């Protein structure tokens, strides 16, 4: 587990490291005062596979369809992180102390014009292709170790800039 060690329930989620020419897709959260950036991620629904959840979340958050990505790698195990204690009661009805995530690495096959963050329920206000280090600097602190672990796990499959 990454972060603090606490007993409790972790929300099952997926994350997607979307790559284009060695750069990683990141988007700025619409709801964080800190102007945090992140890669697409979200919850796994009941009886949904992690891969299906990844395709769904990517479509819901960025408008990117399954036909425009090629999955090239996946984390072997769940990666867990704890939320800061002040956020626990504010998110997901206070039912989870953090998230456990399966991450997918994927090549982006589409065009930038195919990306649309102005979705039905927008989560982002801006997006960019970034170098790995830039994302690590712009992520909320409690997710930083997760991102570093994912980038390290995928370093044999993805040539990050």
pLDDT band, residue 3 (cuts 50/70/90): very low
- Cα–Cα distance measured from residue 40 to residue 69, given in angstroms and rounded to the nearest whole number: 13
Where helices occur in 1-143 by DSSP H, the ranges are 50-62, 132-138
Residue 4 has pLDDT above 60, yes or no: no
Long-range CB contact pairs, 32-35, < 8 A, 24+: 32/140, 34/140
| pLDDT, tens only, 38-72 | 999 999 999 999 999 999 999 999 999 999 999 99
- Cα–Cα distance measured from residue 32 to residue 114, given in angstroms and rounded to the nearest whole number: 25
| pLDDT, tens only, 125-134 | 999 999 999 9
**Domain 10-154, CATH:** 3.90.79.10
pLDDT at position 5: 47
pLDDT at position 133: 94
Q: For residues 109 and 4, which has the higher predicted lDDT (pLDDT)?
A: 109
pLDDT at position 7: 54
- Cα–Cα distance measured from residue 26 to residue 34, given in angstroms and rounded to the nearest whole number: 15
- Cα–Cα distance measured from residue 155 to residue 105, given in angstroms and rounded to the nearest whole number: 10
Q: For residues 62 and 89, which has the higher predicted lDDT (pLDDT)?
A: 62
- Cα–Cα distance measured from residue 142 to residue 88, given in angstroms and rounded to the nearest whole number: 13
Q: Quote the mean pLDDT of the chain.
A: 90
pLDDT at position 83: 86
Residue 29 has pLDDT above 60, yes or no: yes
* Single pTM value for the model: 0.88
| pLDDT, tens only, 94-120 | 788 888 999 999 999 999 999 999 988
The strand pair at 98-108 and 10-20 is best described as parallel
pLDDT at position 64: 96
Closest CA to 18 of 76, 70, 75, 78: 70
* Burial group, residue 140, by CB count within 10 angstroms (0-12, 13-18, 19+): middle
pLDDT at position 161: 85
């Amino acid at each position: 587990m990454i972060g603090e060690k606490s007993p409790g329930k972790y929300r099952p989620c997926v994350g997607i490291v979307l790559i284009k020419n060695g750069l990683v897709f990141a988007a700025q959260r619409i709801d964080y005062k800190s102007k945090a950036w992140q890669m697409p991620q979200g919850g796994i629904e009941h009886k949904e596979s992690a891969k299906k959840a990844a395709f769904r979340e990517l479509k819901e958050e960025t408008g990117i369809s399954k036909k425009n990505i090629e999955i090239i790698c996946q984390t072997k195990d769940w990666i867990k992180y704890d939320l800061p204690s002040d956020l626990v009661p504010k998110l997901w009805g206070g039912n989870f102390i953090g998230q456990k995530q399966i991450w997918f690495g994927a090549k982006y096959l589409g065009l930038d014009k195919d990306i649309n963050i102005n979705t039905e329920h927008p989560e982002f206000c801006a997006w960019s292709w970034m170098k790995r280090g830039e994302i690590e600097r712009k992520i909320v602190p409690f997710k930083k170790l997760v991102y570093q672990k994912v980038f390290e796990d995928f370093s044999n499959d993805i040539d990050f800039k």
